Amino acid sequence: MEKQLLHFKAMGVMLIFLMMIPASTPPRKYTKPVTYPCVQYPPLTYSPILLKINVDANYTPKDLAGMRESAPTLVMEELKRVNYNFKLADGVRPNLVLFITFTNDGYNHYGVILNVDWQGQGNFTISLPNNYITVKQLFADMANEFNRWVINGWHSGNCK
């Protein structure tokens, strides 16, 4: 009987501690999600539109230095094909800075993430999935998509 009484006392103490655990946690405070205002950026109508192009990859290419040297020229060729107003900024402040990150799924399918900064005033991101097997088509689609954003303007924030 004493042994059972000892077990009941131990179980009682454990039950009290278990009941204290939920009581000791701080109450959950509701925080309203932050909603950012909708900001509409106008189309860029000036000519030329000066660009600075930075290239990177989310994988280890065979020749990253060569890619960083040749990709801006190839991208500019495609951009000039869709809109002759684009020009590389050479010694002057660019209107747009393009951060191009090439992606690869490990099976030689390529994609791109293009982050564009407009003189620190606004930015936008274009993502093309790893569905491309030729870089030429990837560059062509990236240039067309980028040009669409530049000539139509873009928005950021909570726009409905």
pLDDT confidence of residue 39: 86
Backbone phi, then psi, for 91, in 5-degree steps? 85, 5
pLDDT, position 11: 78
pLDDT for position 55? 93
What is the pLDDT at residue 157? 77
Q: In this structure, which amino acid lies at residue 49?
A: I
pLDDT at 49: 94
3-class DSSP state for residue 101? strand
pLDDT at residue 16 in the model: 76
What stretches of 25-155 show up as alpha helix (H) in DSSP?
Answer: 64-82, 135-152
> pTM of the entire structure?
0.73
pLDDT tens, position by position, for the chain (160 residues)?
Answer: 677 767 777 777 777 777 777 666 677 788 888 888 888 888 988 889 999 999 998 888 888 888 888 889 999 999 999 999 999 999 999 999 999 999 999 898 999 999 999 888 888 899 999 999 998 999 999 999 999 999 998 888 778 7
Tokens 């873009």 found at: 154
Looking at residue 111, what DSSP letter applies? Answer: E
pLDDT of residue 65: 86
Question: Which pLDDT score, from 0 to 100, does residue 62 have?
Answer: 84
pLDDT of amino acid 23: 65
Which parts of the chain are beta strand (E)? 39-41, 49-57, 86-88, 96-104, 110-118, 122-132, 154-156
Which pLDDT score, from 0 to 100, does residue 1 have? 66
Tokens 């020229």 — which residue? 73
Q: What DSSP character marks residue 119?
A: T
**Six token digits for residue 108:** 């030689």
Scan for tokens 């980028």, then name that residue. Answer: 146
